[in-house]
Amino acid sequence: MPNLPISQLPLATSGQPESWMAIVNYDVDPLGITNKIYFSALTEQFSGSSGSSGTSGSSGTSGSSGTSGSSGTSGSSGTSGSSGTSGISGLSGFTGSWTVTPGTNNYSFTVDINHTYNLWALGNIPNGIIVYNATVSVSNTNVPVIGVQYAWNYTGGGSPILFTTIPPQIIGTAGAISTASPGVGSSTNTFVFGIQNNTISGFTVNYGYLKIS
């Protein structure tokens, strides 16, 4: 095949569809013209089931960066891994509910110290809504909690449900350093809500928190 361009070489009789062909050697005649080319099919090595990009390869489904690999979705650093969103070093949270009985009563939940949290509570019944959320840092059980909190009562439907108090231990002013030391007791990691139920039956208020650091 003297002087034959590569694009006009005859089709290979071995290899697989979508193979990568690598030239590994060639022969020349006495005039220095190539007359034979040797190639190797790389399909299995690089793109196949066990190749670097294949199912079990370094970037494949089970590879080091794949879905189940060390950095993949279920890997040690992945979404569900030990350092991931649901992992031992990742974010963690809790959701629960209170059964709010008629009258005015206190309802609470407790978090661990030395962490920062998003807190929330929500009750939604016919003609009545209460909503609460906060971002707080809890350092110790006998000092104030630093953060910000918001609460809202819907009163346009007869006020069947109302917040009467929200956690008093949360202090802080945006853009300022506080040195306030109000008397807050010895359990500031417990958040207490006064809720008034003006109906004749109980209803559910959902609450929860997400540890963000």
Task: Specify the pairing of strand 170-171 against strand 145-153.
Answer: parallel
CATH number attached to the domain at 93-211: 2.60.40
Q: State the average pLDDT for the chain.
A: 81
pLDDT at 169: 97
Residue 105, token pair as written in the block? 């009563």
If phi over 0 gives left and psi between -120 and 50 gives alpha, with beta otherwise, what is residue 52? alpha
Each residue of 120-174: pLDDT tens digit? 999 999 999 999 999 999 999 999 999 999 999 999 999 999 999 999 999 999 9
User: Has residue 109 got a pLDDT over 60?
Assistant: yes
Predicted local distance difference test score (pLDDT) of residue 70: 57
| Domains of the chain by residue range | 1-70, 93-211
From residue 86, give the alpha-carbon distance in Å to each of 74, 92, 96, 164.
10, 6, 18, 35
> How confident is the model at residue 55, as a pLDDT?
56
- 105, 207 in Cβ contact below 8 A? no
Res. 28 pLDDT band, cuts 50 70 90: confident
Instruction: Evaluate if residue 32 carries a pLDDT over 60.
Output: yes
3-state DSSP assignment of residue 3: coil
Q: What is the pTM of this model?
A: 0.61
What would the pLDDT profile of 58-77 be if each residue is shown by its tens digit?
566 565 565 565 555 555 55
Between 53 and 112, the higher pLDDT residue: 112
Tell me the pLDDT band of 53, cut-offs 50, 70 and 90.
low
At residue 37, the pLDDT reads: 72
Averaged pLDDT, 5-18: 60
Whether residue 201 has pLDDT greater than 50: yes
User: Which H or E element spans position 98?
Assistant: strand 92-100
